Structure 1
Amino acid sequence: MKNTAAIIGGGVIGGGWAARFLLMGWDVRVFDPDPEAARKIGEVIDNARRSLPGLSDVALPAEGQLSFHDTMSEAVQGARWIQESVPERIELKRKVYQTLQAHCAPDAVIGSSTSGFTPSQLHDCALRPDQIIVAHPFNPVYLLPLVEVVPGAATSSEIVQSAQDILTGVGMYPLVIRAEIDAHIADRLLEAVWREALWLINDGIATTAEIDDAIRYGFGLRWAQMGLFETYRIAGGEAGMRHFIEQFGPCLEWPWTKLMDVPELTDTLIDTIADQSDAQSGALSIRALERKRDDNLVSILRGLKAQDWGAGQLLNAHDRRLSSHHSSEIAINGPIETVARAVPLDWTDYNGHMNEARYLQAFGDATDRMMQFAGVDDAYIAGGASYFTAETHLRHLDEVHAGEMIRIETQVISGSGKKMHLFHRMFSGAREIATGEHMLIHVSLETRRACEPDATVAARLHEIALAHAALPLPVGVGKAVGVKG
């Protein structure tokens, strides 16, 4: 039997909830009086379809059915989860709950996306306060896993457990907050940064862009993978969190911030924080935590680099600067060095060495570089032609590990007419790690069919191929996979 979720209010957050449930196989029933609701939610779901499946290395469940309903009473029929995401007006929310509870199942979870109200405030006037919780997500709901689950005094333990199970089942992280507090946990932290940022702008210290850069190029990257206390535990070195507090605790009394109302760092509070930090991270040494931090940061930064966004944009710009320092002149009387780089941390697999897919990526980079040497640069491709790979054969000769330097030498076996036949050899020091043989065909990007390259490219490729014809053929050229008897 299909699970069903009802979404009451289809704005940015409600639409994100709809997408999360729908792509995790739930049927989704939406109520929103906005005549544009179907279009708006449809666009959010299209974005989710484009991005959410890429977070998984296995297939997601078959997508559920999406439907829109004219009344809340109709929308909640058969719903196991009901998510309220209406505007932040307490009287409106209370009225919505009265309608919902008159028609929904008593054991359905009713979650509110509110960031400002506590469960006790929501429970007032409710028919069954025991089934209402705060389930506060973060945008985009279909990608970010955190949901702050806040039960009230009247919320049943069964509803809390059901909420945890359902949220976990759709790939989210339910953080159950142990006590009601205005703005919960995450928004209180965000609000502290927000208030300080407003003061920095008000006092003419920084602009919005400078504040955003301070976050996204610095501590925001650390927070993304390790949070606040583990980050500071590392900052304390081998002595851990206690040393960090002893060293930096006095700074809380300095006039660094407009937010001066901070707790006194008594021995009891220090012991509590240090003990909690030990329980959280004490099983790992400081070196192990550092390695995990570095692995995480490499993955985050390389992800941003692939999107050319934020800190990744800086890395790409730096790569371009480094590349510009290399001479564009190449000697063609021998194999041409087309790649020289370290093996990134995220290129390794469960065997501790470079993933076989990354060999192809590295050889693909070598092919791209060879094309550039032949004159197939960005301008040429923009003009409507390029080379497409028609056939590839890889040989894995030795293993290579994260951090090791690799280089690829490329030999042009032939380069006449529409064909470009390349043979790449990958080395780590003197060790030959792998070879890649590639046959490429020159293609019109307009017709997507083979065509002759322009005269300049043809002449340059012929010149290199002629020079390389004097070289001995590398071992492995033309080799195919075979089974020995």
Structure 2
Amino acid sequence: MTKTAAIVGGGVIGGGWAARFLLNGWNVQVFDPDPEAERKIGEVLANARRSLPGLSDAPLPEEGKLSFHDDMGAALKGAVWIQESVPEVLELKHKIFAQIQSHCDKGAVIGSSTSGFKPSELQQGADAPGQIIVTHPFNPVYLLPLIEVVTTEENDADFIEAAKAELTGLGLYPLHLKKEIDAHIADRFLEAVWREALWLLKDGIATTEEIDNAIRYGFGIRWAQMGLFETYRVAGGEAGMKHFMAQFGPCLKFPWTKLMDVPEFNDELVDLIAGQSDEQSGAYSIRELERIRDNNLVAMMRALKAQDWGAGALLKSHDTLLKGGTPLGTPLEAMGDLSQPIVTLSRAVPLDWTDYNGHMTESRYLDAFAQSTDRFMDLIGANNEYIEGGMSYFTAETHIRHLDEVRAGERIEVRTQMLLGKGKKLHLFHSMYAGDKLLATGESFLLHVSLETRRPCEPSEAVSAAMAKIAEAQAGLPYPEGAGSAIRAPK
């Protein structure tokens, strides 16, 4: 059964939440009196459709239904999660919570995107304070996984765990703060860096661009994959954190920062910052900057994913969850009808799979077909365990035909027909589609080998039986067009 989320407040953050829910298969109902809300969320969603699916090497669920409502009661109907993202005015939030609780289901989670207010402040005067928690995201919500979950004693432990489970199911990382504090955790760091940056600007030490470069070319990259304490632990060398603290701890007494002081936030300082910022990045529109940002975030997180580290490890875990609910995670004995080509890959084209022409680069077609071959091998039992036992298949020949183009964010599917699966020989024909459009075909001829001798050998009885089952089921399929032109058809 499809779940429903309600979004109250459809600005940048609310739009990001809407995209995160929607692209993970939830229906989303939006309430926002802004007449431009539908346009604004549509633009955020366009960016999300282009970038979020590319983080996953498994297919996301079918996109949910998006609707906009003038009446809050209609927007809240059936919602199991309600995300409030209205302006940071406590009186306004109290008013909104009262309206929400007069309409919503009593078991629904009411999450607030607030970056500054504590949950105890939000819960004041509420009919059901235990229903309200802080779920503070980071922009763009549809890409960055961190959600600061802040609760009070009013919130039931089971309610909290259920809320965290829903967030995890969306590919998010719920960081649970069991003790509330102004601005939570992450924004307190950001505020400290922001205050110091304001002084560096005001005192003429650095420009906005120089400060940004200090972050993005240096510690920002380290923080992205290890955070603060683990980075410093490594900096301590073999002696570890104690050595680091012994070396750099005394520096805390030096007057290096002005964190206890704040420059006067006047028009002169605002004009200085705005002027330098416009000069730094004014050549790009906001939408262009968003796309550049999304490109960089996807590339960095996918790189971390290849190392199974940090945010990348979280993405791999989410992929496992996604694959478990699709045919890509189904064993052969549970596949049902095998008389048609088997779906061996279903995913979106990631941003880093595209080239200077804006479409999927030719090397990625081979990558996709290789993944399809791996999935087919897994189906017939030539999986990791089989390989560890000393046998596998080696590719001897591959032929790819490029028939049409596909762009980042589009969903592709590869369907595989086994042309020969007998003895040492495995001959596969992959067809890649975007919807009904045939994009490419990939034909592969493989030989079963012993990893000890590196020479061809007969497969196990179980693998042979699995191939025989597929061969019998697909015996009625016509020989595919384009097959055999580069790899000789079996006689």
Q: TM-score, normalised by structure 1?
A: 0.57
Q: Following the alignment from structure 2 to structure 1, what is the Cα–Cα distance between the partners of residues 169 and 128?
A: 25
> How do residues 278-357 of structure 1 correspond to structure 2 at under 5 angstroms?
none
Q: Following the alignment from structure 2 to structure 1, what is the Cα–Cα distance between the partners of residues 113 and 489?
A: 61
Structure 1 pair 13–307 and aligned structure 2 pair: CA distance change class (3 A): farther
Q: Following the alignment from structure 2 to structure 1, what is the Cα–Cα distance between the partners of residues 206 and 72?
A: 47
Structure 1 pair 294–43 and aligned structure 2 pair: CA distance change class (3 A): closer
Structure 1 pair 15–305 and aligned structure 2 pair: CA distance change class (3 A): closer
Q: Return the letter of the residue paired with 2:90.
A: I
Q: Which residue of 1 aligns with 2:143?
A: 143
Structure 1 pair 101–44 and aligned structure 2 pair: CA distance change class (3 A): same
Q: Following the alignment from structure 1 to structure 2, what is the Cα–Cα distance between the partners of residues 114 and 159?
A: 20
List, as ranges, runs of 4+ consecutive aligned residues in structure 1 with deviation greater than 2 Å. Answer: 292-297, 303-308, 349-352, 390-397, 478-485
Q: Following the alignment from structure 1 to structure 2, what is the Cα–Cα distance between the partners of residues 115 and 213?
A: 26
Q: Following the alignment from structure 1 to structure 2, what is the Cα–Cα distance between the partners of residues 63 and 393?
A: 32
Q: Return the letter of the residue paired with 1:146.
A: L
Q: Which residue of 1 aligns with 2:14?
A: 14
Q: Which residue of 2 aligns with 1:201?
A: 201
Q: Which residue of 2 aligns with 1:244?
A: 244
Q: Return the letter of the residue paired with 1:72.
A: M
Larger RCO: 1 or 2 (CA < 8 Å, sep 6+):
2
CA contact (8 A) 1:118 1:152 kept: no
CA contact (8 A) 2:445 2:487 kept: no
CA contact (8 A) 2:7 2:85 kept: yes
CA contact (8 A) 1:225 1:293 kept: no
Structure 1 residue 34 and structure 2 residue 40: aligned? Answer: no
SS of corresponding position for 2:103: coil
> How do residues 108-123 of structure 1 correspond to structure 2 at under 5 angstroms?
108-123=108-123
Q: Following the alignment from structure 2 to structure 1, what is the Cα–Cα distance between the partners of residues 260 and 125?
A: 39
Q: Following the alignment from structure 1 to structure 2, what is the Cα–Cα distance between the partners of residues 106 and 159?
A: 12
Q: Which residue of 1 aligns with 2:54?
A: 54
Q: What's the offset of the Cα at 1:207?
A: 0.5
SS of corresponding position for 1:217: helix
Structure 1 pair 204–5 and aligned structure 2 pair: CA distance change class (3 A): same
Structure 1 pair 296–190 and aligned structure 2 pair: CA distance change class (3 A): farther
Q: What's the offset of the Cα at 1:391?
A: 10
Structure 1 pair 484–75 and aligned structure 2 pair: CA distance change class (3 A): closer
Q: Return the letter of the residue paired with 2:67.
A: S
Q: What's the offset of the Cα at 1:18?
A: 0.5
Structure 1 pair 483–143 and aligned structure 2 pair: CA distance change class (3 A): same
Structure 1 pair 246–79 and aligned structure 2 pair: CA distance change class (3 A): same
CA contact (8 A) 1:28 1:65 kept: yes
CA contact (8 A) 1:24 1:62 kept: yes
Q: Following the alignment from structure 1 to structure 2, what is the Cα–Cα distance between the partners of residues 137 and 17?
A: 9
Q: What's the offset of the Cα at 1:157?
A: 1.6
Structure 1 pair 24–484 and aligned structure 2 pair: CA distance change class (3 A): closer
Structure 1 residue 185 and structure 2 residue 185: aligned? Answer: yes
Q: What's the offset of the Cα at 1:10?
A: 0.1
Which segment is superposed worse, 80-89 or 243-252?
243-252
Which segment is superposed worse, 40-49 or 77-86?
40-49
Q: What's the offset of the Cα at 1:257?
A: 0.9
Q: What's the offset of the Cα at 1:159?
A: 2.2
Q: Which residue of 2 aligns with 1:24?
A: 24
Structure 1 pair 395–61 and aligned structure 2 pair: CA distance change class (3 A): closer
Q: What's the offset of the Cα at 1:259?
A: 2.4
Q: What's the offset of the Cα at 1:296?
A: 7.9
Q: Which residue of 2 aligns with 1:217?
A: 217
Structure 1 pair 392–10 and aligned structure 2 pair: CA distance change class (3 A): closer
Structure 1 pair 255–68 and aligned structure 2 pair: CA distance change class (3 A): same
Q: TM-score, normalised by structure 2?
A: 0.56
Q: What's the offset of the Cα at 1:480?
A: 4.4
CA contact (8 A) 1:120 1:153 kept: no
Q: Deviations over 1:5-63 (max 9, x none)?
A: 00000000000000110110001010000011111111111111111110111111011
Q: What's the offset of the Cα at 1:481?
A: 3.6
Q: Which residue of 2 aligns with 1:258?
A: 258
Q: Following the alignment from structure 2 to structure 1, what is the Cα–Cα distance between the partners of residues 44 and 31?
A: 16
Q: What's the offset of the Cα at 1:128?
A: 0.2
Q: Following the alignment from structure 2 to structure 1, what is the Cα–Cα distance between the partners of residues 351 and 210?
A: 19
SS of corresponding position for 2:196: helix
CA contact (8 A) 2:152 2:178 kept: no
Q: Deviations over 1:287-313 (max 9, x none)?
A: xxxxx999589x99xx999999xxxxx
Identity, % of aligned positions: 65
Q: Following the alignment from structure 2 to structure 1, what is the Cα–Cα distance between the partners of residues 141 and 18?
A: 9
CA contact (8 A) 1:6 1:82 kept: yes
Q: Which residue of 2 aligns with 1:281?
A: none
CA contact (8 A) 2:51 2:351 kept: no
CA contact (8 A) 2:9 2:31 kept: yes
Q: Deviations over 1:204-224 (max 9, x none)?
A: 100100000011111111111
Q: What's the offset of the Cα at 1:71?
A: 1.8
SS of corresponding position for 1:29: strand
Q: Following the alignment from structure 2 to structure 1, what is the Cα–Cα distance between the partners of residues 351 and 216?
A: 11
Structure 1 pair 393–74 and aligned structure 2 pair: CA distance change class (3 A): closer
CA contact (8 A) 1:113 1:137 kept: yes
Q: Deviations over 1:142-162 (max 9, x none)?
A: 011110000023122222112
Q: What's the offset of the Cα at 1:243?
A: 1.1
Q: Which residue of 1 aligns with 2:44?
A: 44
Q: Which residue of 2 aligns with 1:153?
A: 153
Structure 1 pair 222–128 and aligned structure 2 pair: CA distance change class (3 A): same
How many residue pairs end up in the alignment? 312
Q: Following the alignment from structure 1 to structure 2, what is the Cα–Cα distance between the partners of residues 171 and 98?
A: 30
Structure 1 pair 201–154 and aligned structure 2 pair: CA distance change class (3 A): same
Q: Deviations over 1:88-140 (max 9, x none)?
A: 00000001111111111111000000001000100111010001000000001
Q: Return the letter of the residue paired with 2:150.
A: V
Q: Following the alignment from structure 2 to structure 1, what is the Cα–Cα distance between the partners of residues 237 and 306?
A: 15
Q: Following the alignment from structure 1 to structure 2, what is the Cα–Cα distance between the partners of residues 54 and 105?
A: 34
Q: Which residue of 2 aligns with 1:169?
A: 169
CA contact (8 A) 2:25 2:62 kept: yes
CA contact (8 A) 1:253 1:260 kept: no
Structure 1 pair 184–241 and aligned structure 2 pair: CA distance change class (3 A): same
In structure 1, runs of 5+ residues without a counterpart are 262-291, 309-348, 365-389, 398-477
Q: Which residue of 2 aligns with 1:88?
A: 88
SS of corresponding position for 1:102: helix
Q: Following the alignment from structure 1 to structure 2, what is the Cα–Cα distance between the partners of residues 307 and 178?
A: 43
Q: Deviations over 1:287-342 (max 9, x none)?
A: xxxxx999589x99xx999999xxxxxxxxxxxxxxxxxxxxxxxxxxxxxxxxxx
Which segment is superposed worse, 138-147 or 67-76?
67-76
Q: Return the letter of the residue paired with 1:78.
A: G
Q: Return the letter of the residue paired with 2:171.
A: G
